[in-house]
Amino acid sequence: MRILLLNGNTSESITQALVAEAQRSAAPDTVIVATRCARGAEVVASRSAEVVAANAMIEAIAAFKEPYDAVLVAISFDTAVSALRELLSVPVIGMTEAACHVATMVGSRFGVVLPGERNAAIYRERIVACGFEPRLAGMRVIGSSAAALYADPDSAVVSIRIAAKALIDEERCDAVVLAGAALVGLQRRIQPEISVPLIDGIACGIGMLESLVRLNFPKPKSGSYAVPASAQLQNIDPALAALFAYPAALQP
């Protein structure tokens, strides 16, 4: 099985860290292939940069010519997940929704540690959109931005540990989701000191996709995730235009 890890950030070093975590998490016979956006932000840190990333992610999919069986959206806002799920016939999951699914399989309510005050509302909106709010116990913000934490992982570790403990003590959560692609892998250093599962979206996303691939559902033929009708989009990247003109072409 080949899972395509699609990074919505342009950072090559974050992509490598994400791939490394994905490989640590994957089953022995799962191959991780990866691509990243050819344009946009090093680290997406705003609602507007996310819009650019979403478009660039679809372009990256249109440009990616190797085979794959599933797509892991490796940006913690779960950017473009529903668009890709519609467009492709293979399973698609976002790293944060995957973490929330797993969190609700291991406990009653979960907390979220996330980087950057301005991102708190964005993550909450994502959780509401997925319908997980009844299971959300609380959120804690660390650091000023994902990029700042990425630049100083030792400091990030300290902050995450404090925030996770606060969620457990004050909100009584049974699991803690660690949001933010830039923080990938840090949960492995912090888990030993935390009394409940510390949940990373990449590891969860790989697991969920391995299951979905094996479940082998047909592509929907009705509803909002059916293959869209062929459309002539103008003035866009030719590979992207071809994807919209022949959306069935990507389907097996």
Segment 131-190, which members bind a copy of itself (CB under 8 A)? 131-135, 141, 145, 168, 172-175
Ramachandran category for residue 235: left, alpha or beta (phi over 0 → left; psi -120 to 50 → alpha): left
User: What minimum distance in Å lies between the beta carbon of 104 and a copy of itself?
Assistant: 7
Question: Which SS3 state, helix, strand or coil, does residue 9 take?
Answer: coil
Question: Which SS3 state, helix, strand or coil, does residue 160 take?
Answer: helix
* Contact pick of 15, 35, 96, 191 for a copy of itself (by CB under 8 A): 191
Q: What is the rounded (10 degree) CA torsion for 147, 153, 156, 161?
A: 150
Beta-carbon count within 10 A of 166 CB: 15
Q: What is the largest CA-CA distance in the chain?
A: 54
**Roughly what angle, to the nearest 10 degrees, separates helices 95-106 and 201-215?**
90
Residue number, 39 or 155, with CB nearest to a copy of itself = 39
* Contact pick of 25, 33, 64, 153 for a copy of itself (by CB under 8 A): 25
Does residue 225 belong to the site contacting a copy of itself (CB under 8 A)?
Answer: yes
User: What minimum distance in Å lies between the beta carbon of 243 and a copy of itself?
Assistant: 8
The alpha carbon of residue 223 and the mean position of all alpha carbons in its chain are separated, in whole angstroms, by: 24
Subset of 89-118 contacting a copy of itself (CB under 8 A): 91, 93, 97, 101-102, 104-109, 117-118
Does residue 193 belong to the site contacting a copy of itself (CB under 8 A)?
Answer: no
Beta bridge mates, 34: 5
Residue number, 27 or 162, with CB nearest to a copy of itself = 27
Which residues, including other chains, have CB under 8 Å from residue 171's CB and lie 6 or more apart? 109, 111, 137, 138
User: What minimum distance in Å lies between the beta carbon of 33 and a copy of itself?
Assistant: 19
Subset of 35-64 contacting a copy of itself (CB under 8 A): 38-42, 45-52, 54-55, 58
Residue number, 84 or 156, with CB nearest to a copy of itself = 84
Does residue 211 belong to the site contacting a copy of itself (CB under 8 A)?
Answer: yes
